[in-house]
Structure 1
Amino acid sequence: MKGNPEPHLRVARPTEQLAAIVAMYRDGLDFELIGSFEAHEGFDGAMLGAPGGPYHLEFTQEEGGGAGEPPSPENLLVFYIEDEAQWSRRCDRMAAAGFAQVPAHNPYWDRGGRTFVDLDGYRVVIYRGSWG
């Protein structure tokens, strides 16, 4: 199988509102739709990310529902953004895309970032700083 020899991370989440969730993450995180599928063994889905990037998000919707409840408020996607202007623009994009800003369950994230929740109750932190 051809491809990049470096590891690639896919974070998969279920939803019962695929089109709305895809639009939220596409617009809020400035991602692109990099793949999708329909009626694949009872699932529809979409993958979002930066083309060629080391990670992407996959959202799936099962025929007949069944996404279940989101995990605890400590189950987070965290994006580290070092540049203050870029961080501020990203936070504005998240709000404009329909994410609600919420207090972080762990106060650490509020000291350096903002926590947002999507329509399904999953949380995303936009952290002002670098990793490492």
Structure 2
Amino acid sequence: MATGWGAAAKDLPLGKDPAHIRRRIEAMEHLLERSFTIPGTRFPVGLDVVLDLIPGIGTTVAAAMGAYMAWEARNLGMSKTQIARMAGNVGFDWALGMIPWVGAIPDLFFRSNSRNLKIIRKHLDKHHPASVTIEQPPKG
């Protein structure tokens, strides 16, 4: 039985329907923004913050992963305005992250991927209500 990120990736659907796209986007946002908690706190962080600790390259990789969400939004038929707003969020996050070491700090508070997920969910809830999933409470 696989655990961790490998298990999550294995279980993601590959279809092009809105419900499958929603699940992939939600998984990407979770990976980038809240995959683990800082020890001793309740503050969730993700790969986006960790990658920002690698000057230049890490920030660019995180931005490319965030851009994937905007690409999936385009596949959903979202408006150019919504996609431009999402691109602006990713670009702003990338620009902050380009500041070596210090750039990871704003990333803790400006969560571009969470903002973009909110934009996508609003679109999906309005145009594809059947894609809504009930979130399961955490096991523990």
Same fold flag (TM > 0.5): no
Aligning the two structures, in what range does the TM-score lie when normalised by the shorter sequence? under 0.3
- Is the strand fraction higher in 1 or 2? 1
TM-score, normalising length: structure 1: 0.28
